[in-house]
Amino acid sequence: MCGIVGYLGEKKATDVILAGLEKLEYRGYDSCGIFFHVEKTNDFITYKDKGRISHLINDFNYKFDNHLGIGHTRWATHGKPNRENSHPHFSFSTRFAIVHNGVIENYRELTAKYIPDVEFASETDTEVIVNLIEHFATELSIEEAIRKTLSLIEGSYALLIVDKQNSNAMYAAKNKSPLLIGIAPNGITLASDVMALVEHAETYIPIEDKTFVSVFASDDKFEYAMVDIIGVPVIPKPLKMDIVLEDIGKGGYSHYMLKEICEQPSVVRKIMDKYLVNGNTVIPDAIVKLFQNTNRIYIVAAGTSMHAGYVGKYYFEHVSMIPTEVFIASEFAYNQPLIVDNPLFVFISQSGETADLRACLLRVKELGHKTITITNVPTSTLAREADHFLEIFAGPEIAVASTKAYVGQVTILALLAYIVAKRKPFDLHLELSKVAIAMDAVIDNREYIDNLVKDKLTKRNCFYIGRGLDYYTCLEAALKLKEISYIQTEGFAAGELKHGTIALIEDGIPVIAIISQAHIANNTRANIREVMARGAEVIVIALTAVSDLTDDIVLMDVNEMLTPLVTVIPTQLIAYYSALHLGKDIDKPRNLAKSVTVE
Ligand code: F6R
């Protein structure tokens, strides 16, 4: 995780870097730092500390002309979040400064072998990189010293390096962790996410693994060069910067999460516009054939995206008749199941950067299997490295808790399952249009949910129960509530609760039941009675067709297959308003980061 930004150009570097770090804060926000060159004194300044970017912006002095700098926002992996462990880090003589996103696996071995006498100032793995660079720079050119270091380090990294002896240059390299370069005639920006480049670049390039980049200024020109680790030039094609600034603002909402919840009907409509044109699907034939010709689909994902994967499994098995399994990415990578002949691997990831998935993708590619990524970020690593990818078109998702990307993923999975199906069970365009309207209805009425949860979700624990598709929504609903409100919440198959966990039900424990499937509605109602008999405070979310007069949240009816797209909306609002009433940091919950680029 972590986010990095570097700049060399005509603008004030600290402005570009601090604004960029704010946009990257979703990647980690326990400490931060900045390092920049002061024109007037030809000196370098470092500010770093535990805390958020607002601290870095508000509590330090930037009244200096400066055009070169690097910055970092951290999600701690090695060592506590404190000033010492914050980036930048420095080489032994302090000649080189570095910011790093990633994990160096062999840092102990490298330290022992090459720089045993160097005393590190922090507990981080990063210091080994910058010290090795200075160690090799005594005999090699800077570029050679960095490339030699890169050839030795194992693990993931996106790096920015500044040599205090040259304020007209900046160096960068990447492996596994994301890094992009933004190009404009008046300056070059490097960052972990395209969002930090938007205002400063006309074109950009997602940098490939094991690439080394030098950025330099000469005669008022700002240029870059890319080579691979052995020094062979790499000549990528820059992409046009096509991200709109408004898409990454809060747009008048108090939190990104609320904005993103409210955007979900338009995400469904946008996916319909993109993939269902005049009633026909425009998903590339090559992708459709992959699904039609496979014996088994293996969905690999993590967290919320994995919950979308479960819904996808239901769709592929019930609509397309293709056996499908869902795997937790971090388990699949090292505990691989028996794979049938002719499998198809589907990676689902909002960010397209999740390291657990990347490890699986690399393994599956080694085995020669076919792969497709479903992601919100078309320039991401997983999109680039799979055989094919499908874009979710949810627009930038900034809140750490994923909402609209989930809805986008489920919509795409429904669409894929439908296209691949030999017999179309309904008119998907029509049914998705109804879904968007039903979502709008819940969102328009969100104040009701605000009032409903105000006094109800005050206990330490909470349960979501449901069956079938509703069970999958319960898993997602529970994750959302726990990650932003810190109420320990479990999503349970309603019928399973009595096999042990019901022991936790006591007076006043909230149990939220979801009922959207007619054929199992009565069974779930029986489970509701069981928990009520033991004192649970029950909230029922039901579709109109299966609702009772006493139900708390009644939703418009939609096609039974597509109910997860509607039932999830009140659960996201329950999570949002509970966290709001508890005074939690909704968009940046503790200990988390949006893009999980460490395994
Ligand atoms: C929860 C959440 C996470 C992510 C998970 C995978 O709200 O966002 O559980 O779903 O970290 O991330 P992606 O989808 O980017 O691979």
Residue 332 host element (H or E): helix 329-332
Q: What is the block-wise mean pLDDT of the chain (599 residues), using blocks of 10 residues?
A: 93 97 86 96 96 94 96 88 94 97 93 94 93 96 96 95 97 93 97 92 94 94 94 92 76 90 94 86 92 97 98 97 96 88 97 92 95 94 95 93 98 96 89 95 94 86 97 98 96 93 92 97 96 96 97 97 98 97 91 73
Would you state the pLDDT for residue 75?
Answer: 85
> Which residues are annotated as catalytic?
2, 594
303 CB near ligand 1 (under 6 Å): yes
299 C-alpha to center of ligand 1: Å? Answer: 15
Token pair of 131, please?
A: 């010290």
Output the residue whose Cα is nearest ligand 1's atom 3. 303
Which residues neighbour 173 within 8 Å (Cβ) at sequence distance 6 or greater?
A: 146, 150, 157, 158, 159, 161, 179, 210, 211, 212, 213
What atom of ligand 1 comes closest to residue 403's alpha carbon? 7
595 CA to centre of ligand 1 in angstroms: 7
349 lines ligand 1 (CB under 6 A): yes
Task: State which fold the 3-247 domain adopts.
Answer: Glutamine Phosphoribosylpyrophosphate, subunit 1, domain 1 (3.60.20)
Q: What is the DSSP letter of 492?
A: E
* Separation between Cα atoms, residue 296 and residue 143, nearest integer Å: 47
Q: Is 478 in the pocket of ligand 1 (CB under 6 A)?
A: no
**Which residue has the CA at smallest separation from atom 10 of ligand 1?**
304
**Alpha carbons 402 and 407: distance in angstroms, whole number:** 9
Q: How far is the CA of 455 from the centre of ligand 1 (A)?
A: 29
From CA 408, how far away is CA 16, in angstroms rounded?
32
Which class for 384: exposed (0-12), middle (13-18), buried (19 or more C-beta within 10 A)? middle
pLDDT given at position 590: 86
CA distances, 33 to each of 7, 24, 237 (Å) = 14, 13, 32
Contact 559, 426 (CB under 8 A): yes
What per-residue confidence (pLDDT) applies to 596?
74
- In this prediction, residue 278 carries a pLDDT of 77
- Say if ligand 1 is within 6 A of residue 552 CB: no
Ligand 1 neighbour 360 (Cβ under 6 A): no
User: CA nearest 350: which of 251, 242, 260?
Assistant: 260
Binding site membership of 302 for ligand 1 (Cβ less than 6 Å)? yes
Strand, coil or helix: 408: helix
Query: Could you tell me which CATH number the domain at 251-425 has?
Result: 3.40.50.10490
Distance 300 CA to ligand 1 centre (A): 12
Sign of CA dihedral 61, 64, 65, 69: negative
402, 410, 413, best to mutate for ligand 1 pocket (most atoms within 8 Å of CB): 402
How far is 133 from 136, CA to CA, in rounded Å? 5
DSSP string covering 277-327: ETTEE-S-HHHHHHHHH-SEEEEEE-HHHHHHHHHHHHHHHHTS---EEEE
What's domain 443-588's superfamily in CATH?
Answer: Glucose-6-phosphate isomerase like protein; domain 1 (3.40.50.10490)
Among 382, 596, 598, the mutation site with the greatest number of ligand 1 atoms within 8 A of its Cβ is 596
pLDDT for position 219 = 86
Q: For residues 247 and 9, what is the distance between their CA atoms, to the nearest angstrom? A: 26
CB of 436 shorter than 6 A to ligand 1: no
Are 163 and 71 contacting, i.e. CB atoms less than 8 angstroms apart?
no
> Which structure tokens are listed for 143?
């570029």
**Does 401 sit in the ligand 1 pocket, CB within 6 Å?**
yes
583 CA to middle of ligand 1, Å?
Answer: 23
Q: Say yes or no: CB of residue 304 within 6 Å of ligand 1.
A: yes
Exposed e or buried b per residue across 258-276, where buried means at least 16 C-beta atoms within 10 angstroms of its C-beta:
bbbbbbbbbbbbbbbebbb
Which atom of ligand 1 is the closest one to the Cα of 307? 10
Atom 11 of ligand 1: nearest residue by CA position: 303
Domains 251-425 and 443-588 share a fold: yes
Measured in angstroms, how far is the CA atom of residue 302 from the centroid of ligand 1?
A: 6
Burial of 286 (0-12, 13-18, 19+ CB in 10 A): exposed
Q: From atom 7 of ligand 1, which residue's Cα is the shortest distance away?
A: 401
Strands 211-218 and 221-228 turn out to be: antiparallel
CB of 329 within 6 A of ligand 1: the answer is no
Calpha distance 277→291 (Å, rounded): 21
Cα 31 from Cα 56, distance rounded (Å): 9
Query: Is the link from the previous residue into 378 a cis peptide, with omega within 30 of 0?
Result: no
User: In the chain, what are the domain boundaries?
Assistant: 3-247, 251-425, 443-588
Distance 351 CA to ligand 1 centre (A): 8
257 pocket-lining for ligand 1 (C-beta < 6 Å): no
Q: How far is the CA of 195 from the centre of ligand 1 (A)?
A: 18
